[in-house]
Amino acid sequence: MRFSLRNKRAGRSVEYEEVLLDATNVSELNRGRLEGQLERPISGFSIYAIGTLFMFIVLWFSWSLFQLQIIEGSVHRSVSDQNSLNRGMLIAERGVIYDRTDRRLVWNEFDPDDIYDFAVRAYTDLIGLGQVLGYVSYPQKDRNNIFWRTEYVGRTGAEAMFNERLTGVNGERIIEADALGRVIGEHAVRSPVPGQPIKLSVDAALSQAMYEIIATSSAQAGFRSGAGAIMDIHTGELLAMTSYPSYDPAVMSAGGPAYLIEQWNEDERFPFLNKVVGGVYTPGSVVKPFVAYGALVEGVVSPDTIIESTGSITVPNPYNPSNPARFTDWRPHGRMDLRQAVAFSSNVYMYYISGGFGPIRGMGIERMNHYFRLFGLGQTTGSNLPNEQTGVIPDPAWKQAVFDDDWRLGDTYLTSIGQFGFQTTPLQILTAYAGLASGEYLVTPHITYGQQGGRTSLVLDQDALREVQRGMRMAVNYDGGTARPLERRDVAIAAKSGTAEVGAGNAYVNSWVAGYWPYEEPRYAFVLMMDRAPRTNQLGATRVMGDVVAWMAEHTPHYLGLEPLEE
């Protein structure tokens, strides 16, 4: 039989066996082994609550895992890859450019404004060299900081001419970054190789001096612009070359300040144009030596043939006898031979020997133009200087194409004195005069120091050539010669001046001078052109070039074959 008592306070039943327990041994029970403890069952609510909590945790982790790996997996993988290791480019430095005296003209510097993470180009402070040196465009990055233009690009001048040699080989680096994009290390995988240095044939100080003299003379006499160059007649090396006005290559490479670039773009004097190479101008009387040479070779006249200039000639007009054509000289010269005609720059003498007049039967336009082309006029010189222009030698086909009109005698007269659509570059005139000086070849002009330019053989009549050379020497040292400002005691110069009428109503003039030195054993040829001054101007290119030679005698006498002055 089983008995139980009800414990009202505890709210539970007490079994009979529990009543009979001996309370005296309770203190000796092992509590650690749960002796004397009564077991109670876990409630159902606790089990459901714990299960629900664990289920929520599992679902939360599963969703997070699904979101990270499935929904955003590609994004996080890309970020992880890019943040861990990234390949970067090390832009190679561009080659340094020097002048013939080893003066540094263009070099590389770290960007002082910290805009670029590669070297920037620095340019000499000497002025008047902008068109010679040119400028570059820098490497460029996109929005993601990735280079889309990985090299400097030469745009004009020497920077463009020698772009391939100046360009180096880019290097590569590995960039380590943490998950937040912070760089924690860089390692060069392949070091960049800098570009090759370039040594130009130009003397930068001489070019600057020529520029400053042209600039000062332009301001004084009202010329719009000007240009000049000096060349070794044997090698074709350009000793000096400048074009006024010029620009600052550093500004163009950096792309600013914008207002300066805008000023240059809007300047009607064309500061970006290398006028020696890319400017075409009416040459005027600097073409007369080639007409004189052709007339001697063709037997039209001898060196001693006398022609009198009274200031003009009058040609009957078969279409309108009452209105004859009158062709003027720039002054009456009186009686003169061919050498004096060159020295005095007589227009009338050139009319006689080109188109003919009175008892003298001239060469005619085709034969005369043959000698212009023989000396390289009306064609490029073969130089690799950027943007060289061809020019124009007027002839019947040209006139028909441009004016839809026939060729006339007066057109031949005007072409013989470098007018009537005649267009040439200063570089062509320089090369032609170098041919007159050497008497053997036309040399290809260039700006690479120590390089031999190409040569085109000239088969010339040396006797006729000597008579023309004598006339050019007389222009400098003979009373009445048009190049008298170039007369010096220390060096003998042969030269020919030229004044070309341009503009509406011939209101303006271009002033030229070209020649060579020393007269006895020629070494250097030169050309200087002053563009578009009012015809009332009294300052000509011959006087400007005389100032250049005076500067050379003081600062670079070795180019004139002189000993340096003692201090």
| pLDDT value of position 143 | 84
Can you read off the two tokens belonging to residue 423? 């267009």
Tell me the C-alpha distance between 184 and 174, whole Å. Answer: 11
Q: Do 162 and 227 share a structural domain? A: no
Tell me the C-alpha distance between 352 and 408, whole Å. Answer: 15
Tell me the C-alpha distance between 470 and 112, whole Å. Answer: 58
Q: Do 215 and 135 share a structural domain? A: no
| pLDDT value of position 19 | 53
CATH number at residue 145: 3.90.1310.10
| pLDDT value of position 439 | 96
| Half-sphere exposure of residue 443: CA atoms within 13 angstroms, side-chain side | 26
Q: For residue 536, is it left (φ>0), alpha (ψ between -120 and 50) or beta?
A: alpha
CATH number at residue 537: 3.40.710.10
pLDDT band of residue 79 (cuts 50, 70, 90) is: low
Mean pLDDT calculated for residue range 475-498: 96
Q: Do 366 and 399 share a structural domain? A: yes
Does pLDDT of 6 surpass 90?
no
| pLDDT value of position 172 | 86
Tell me the C-alpha distance between 348 and 330, whole Å. Answer: 9
> What is the reported pTM?
0.83
Q: Do 193 and 213 share a structural domain? A: no
Name which of 5-19, 241-255, 300-314, 338-352 the model is least confident about. 5-19
Q: Do 277 and 132 share a structural domain? A: no
Q: Do 237 and 193 share a structural domain? A: no
Within a domain: residue 389? yes
Mean pLDDT calculated for residue range 302-312: 96
| pLDDT value of position 499 | 93
Beta bridge partners of 242: 228
| pLDDT value of position 361 | 94
With a CB cutoff of 8 Å and minimum separation 6, the contacts of 10 are: none
Three-class HEC string of 430-459: HHHHHHHHHCCEEECCECECCCCCCEEECC
Domain that holds residue 140: 86-199
Q: Do 195 and 114 share a structural domain? A: yes
Q: Do 233 and 186 share a structural domain? A: no
Please say whether the beta carbons of 152 and 65 come within 8 A.
Answer: no
| pLDDT value of position 456 | 96
| pLDDT value of position 245 | 97
Mean pLDDT calculated for residue range 509-532: 96
Within a domain: residue 69? no
| pLDDT value of position 20 | 52
pLDDT band of residue 563 (cuts 50, 70, 90) is: confident
Mean pLDDT calculated for residue range 30-34: 58
Q: Do 234 and 193 share a structural domain? A: no
| pLDDT value of position 195 | 96
Tell me the C-alpha distance between 110 and 268, whole Å. Answer: 35
Does pLDDT of 35 surpass 80?
no
Can you read off the two tokens belonging to residue 180? 């937040």
Within a domain: residue 428? yes
| pLDDT value of position 480 | 92
Q: Which of 151, 177, 199 is the last residue of a domain?
A: 199
3-state secondary structure of 311: coil
Tell me the C-alpha distance between 284 and 530, whole Å. Answer: 12
| pLDDT value of position 206 | 98
Within a domain: residue 378? yes
Tell me the C-alpha distance between 33 and 46, whole Å. Answer: 25
Peptide bond into 112 cis (omega under 30): no
| pLDDT value of position 53 | 80
Within a domain: residue 11? no
Within a domain: residue 545? yes
Tell me the C-alpha distance between 497 and 541, whole Å. Answer: 8
Residue bearing tokens 């599963």: 62
Within a domain: residue 336? yes
> Average per-residue pLDDT in the chain?
89
CA 503 to chain centre: 29
Tell me the C-alpha distance between 523 and 519, whole Å. Answer: 9
Q: How many Cβ atoms are within 10 Å of 403's Cβ, its own excluded?
A: 11
| pLDDT value of position 23 | 52
176-219 confidence digits (pLDDT tens): 666 555 656 666 678 899 999 999 999 999 999 999 999 999 99
| pLDDT value of position 33 | 56
pLDDT band of residue 82 (cuts 50, 70, 90) is: low
Does pLDDT of 25 surpass 70?
no
Task: Render 360-415 in DSSP notation, one character per residue.
Answer: B----HHHHHHHHHHTTTTS--S---TT----B---HHHHHHHHS----HHHHHHH
Q: Percentage of the chain with pLDDT > 70?
A: 86
Does pLDDT of 347 surpass 60?
yes
Q: Which of 199, 225, 255 is the last residue of a domain?
A: 199
Q: Do 230 and 191 share a structural domain? A: no
Tell me the C-alpha distance between 125 and 508, whole Å. Answer: 34
3-state secondary structure of 481: coil
Q: Do 288 and 158 share a structural domain? A: no
Burial 433-462 (b: 16+ CB within 10 A, else e): bbbbbbebbbbbbbbbbeeebeeeebebee
Give the N- to C-terminal CA distance of the chain in Å, as an integer.
146
Within a domain: residue 55? no
In 103-257, alpha helices (H):
130-133, 157-161, 163-166, 204-221, 249-254
Can you read off the two tokens belonging to residue 153? 């690009």
Mean pLDDT calculated for residue range 60-77: 71
Does pLDDT of 240 surpass 90?
yes
| pLDDT value of position 22 | 54
Using alpha carbons only, give the angle 360, 337, 362 rounded to the nearest 5 degrees: 25
Does pLDDT of 320 surpass 90?
no
Q: Do 463 and 336 share a structural domain? A: yes
Q: Which of 150, 165, 199 is the last residue of a domain?
A: 199
User: What's the domain count of the chain?
Assistant: 2
